[in-house]
Copies of this chain bind each other. A is one copy, B any other.
Amino acid sequence: MTSGIVTLTTDFGLSDHYVGVMKGVILRFNPQARIVDLCHQVPAYDLLGAGFILAASYSYFAPGTVHLVVVDPGVGSPRRPIVVEAEPWLFVAPDNGVLEPVYRRCPHRVWALQPEIFALKPISNTFHGRDVFAPAAGLLSRGDPPERMAEPIEDFARLEIPSPREIGPGRREGQVLHVDSFGNLITNFQPENLPQRFLLTVGRVRTEALRSVYAQADPGEIFAIAGSSGFVEISIHQASAAEEAGVGAGAAVGLVDRDAVK
């Protein structure tokens, strides 16, 4: 039932030892674990950003994979460490809402981890990734059931995820969820909700063009495209739309339905 795979998503960056130490601990608890980095460059404390990375990734992994997320504005506070079963995957994270995208998409069961059962001792106040989360992920990845290390809960934390909203007849406002390293602006509009004739605006740029592949676009042209993460992206072929627009994650994106607005 376990795949033996543990994925890691953190805001630890790669210039410290934090990620490597977590891997060492996971391998102590499960010497057979295969560990895959999803991303360690989530902006510090950014729950929405970590949620985006996770949502775009988790379903591509084999059933039984353990997805560990350590982005944790409240490390050391009373927020609980949790494990979530959303079949066929398991998720381990702080109970701060970072798993909201999973709650929205999948039936799920949530447990509060009981660190006294399994954590490294003494548990530090500042590095639960090493002392609490890595041991839990290691044990789960070798097939230990959540029941052995956690208690079922119902009152887990939820997170507000911004959705596009109506701001007038035929007008909606969404936002940039993520800017990838190519400068593509990944919005929270879904391709199936794009009107036939539309105008998208973000920062300094605007476009009415929908392309199905990057290579179809003219050099320098701004266009919308159905991206690989399930969202509308605003892109420029072989250049950075984010730079051209002068915006980043969180920026407002306007969408006008040309057939509804004169």
Chain A positions near chain B (C-beta within 8 angstroms): 3-5, 7, 12-21, 23-25, 27-28, 31, 34-41, 44-45, 53, 56-57, 60-62, 65, 73-77, 124-127, 130-131, 178, 180-182, 212-216, 225-228, 233, 238
Q: Is the CB of A125 within 8 A of B181?
A: no
Task: Enumerate chain B residues within 8 angstroms of A53, measured Cβ to Cβ.
Answer: 16-17
Q: Is the CB of A215 within 8 A of B77?
A: yes
The docked-state distance in angstroms from the alpha carbon of A99 to that of B182 is: 22
Task: Enumerate chain B residues within 8 angstroms of A40, measured Cβ to Cβ.
Answer: 14
Q: Is the CB of A60 within 8 A of B24?
A: yes
The docked-state distance in angstroms from the alpha carbon of A127 to that of B60 is: 13
Q: Is the CB of A31 within 8 A of B213?
A: no
Copies of this protein chain in the complex: 3
Question: Is chain A's binding surface mostly helix, strand, loop or mixed?
Answer: loop
Q: Is the CB of A7 within 8 A of B24?
A: yes
Q: Is the CB of B212 within 8 A of A76?
A: yes
Q: Is the CB of B181 within 8 A of A60?
A: no
Task: Enumerate chain B residues within 8 angstroms of A41, measured Cβ to Cβ.
Answer: 14-15
Q: Is the CB of B227 within 8 A of A28?
A: no
Given known pairs A14-B39, A62-B24, the reply for A213 and B5 (CB within 8 Å) is: no
Task: Enumerate chain B residues within 8 angstroms of A28, measured Cβ to Cβ.
Answer: 60-62
Given known pairs A12-B181, A24-B36, the reply for A56 and B17 (CB within 8 Å) is: yes
Chain B's closest residue to A212 (CB) is: B125
The docked-state distance in angstroms from the alpha carbon of A13 to that of B7 is: 18
